[in-house]
Copies of this chain bind each other. A is one copy, B any other.
Amino acid sequence: MPQDEFVVTPWEVSGRVDYDKLIERFGTERVDEKLLKRMEKYGPLHPMLKRGIFYSHRDMHWILDEYEKGNKFFLYTGRGPSGDVHLGHLLPWILTKYFQDIFGVHLYFQITDDEKFLFKEDLTLRETERLSYENMYDIMAVGLNPELTHFIVDTKCIRMMYPIALEVAKRITFSTVKATFGFDESFNIGMIFYTSMQSVPCFLPSVLAGVNIPCLIPCGIDQDPHFRLTRDIASKLGFFKPALLHNKLLPALTGEEKMSSSSPYSAIYMRDEDPIVKKKIMNAFTGGRVSVEEQRRFGGNPDICSVFAYYTYMFEYDDRKLSEIREGCKSGSLLCGECKLNLYKKVKSFMDEHRKRRESAKGIVEDLILRD
């Protein structure tokens, strides 16, 4: 693959992702000043919006138009329970919580246990069920409002979902799936069918309510291909097209393009113990110089630094303080060791809070699963 090429699908991110090119390739719109100004009316802008981490969208203006007409949207996002949750997974969930709080809207959170079973050779349905619960605890731990949160666990909610999935599946051919996801004939027939299941939550709340409700999906940009298909057929089924708001993926601590479970030091998992978290951060790839002396003299480069990215994405939402870190780095007054240790303290306190909220989620998750 040439240097400037890269692949982004729900199951593969490879090459160096050019997020600007992705907007062209997927045909989405940029989150611009005009949209941000408009959103500011509803509450203080979330730093991930202001900082361009949620940088691309489809139909956000329409969602706000409808909202202003009194036609509230619902939120939809999801998680494939294939293993432990890491910090990067939390980005859309945190923004989803922000929207839930600001707009007071319902959230339908899909747990795609069928997907992960079908796509991971060694995964059993017994294991995906266990992981589903483990992951739902992490999801609730971001502080979602249980009064407004409904889990759609595919294998548990299939009776409600299947008729809608059939309506979707009837309108998508193998050719389309092949072109959209890069599948070939060696893919199993469950994988091929699966995208219909990811469409269902876009429409299910409308079916349950008996009236069309706009849908807003905050998600990683890698999930967009599913919803392009959904949008193509929504009106054929008599529903609104879902709107989307896409985030860039959290950079890997190791400087690689993507966090991955095959490279455990690339990501911080919510189940990591403090010493592991510390070790991962202290070993992170930075924009620092080869020696303390050089760093003091020439300064570092925050723009390529994974530690600075962590501050930007999640751990320093005070703009003034973030700017101090940036300037300290560039001037050489802030050394990597100190900067990492500061980050570790922030991450540790975040993790402590998360663990506490995760424990209290255990008693309530079962009741949040959507029932027939």
Contacts and interface: CB of A to CB of B under 8 A. Distances in A.
Interface SS, A side: helix
A94 to B, nearest CB: 31
Interface residues of A, number: 34
A163 to B, nearest CB: 5
A186 B125 CA distance: 31
A174 B187 contact: yes
Contacts of A163: 125, 155
B189 A190 contact: no
Interface stretch (A191-199, A267-275, A310-318): A191-199
A171 B188 contact: yes
A173 B155 contact: no
Contacts of A158: 158-159, 162
Contacts of A186: 173-175
A169 B183 CA distance: 15
A114 interface: yes
Contacts of A171: 188
A188 B172 contact: yes
Nearest to A156: B159
B159 A188 contact: no
A178 interface: yes
Q: Which 8 A-B pairs have the closest CB atoms?
A: A169-B190, A193-B193, A175-B185, A174-B185, A158-B162, A159-B159, A169-B189, A189-B193
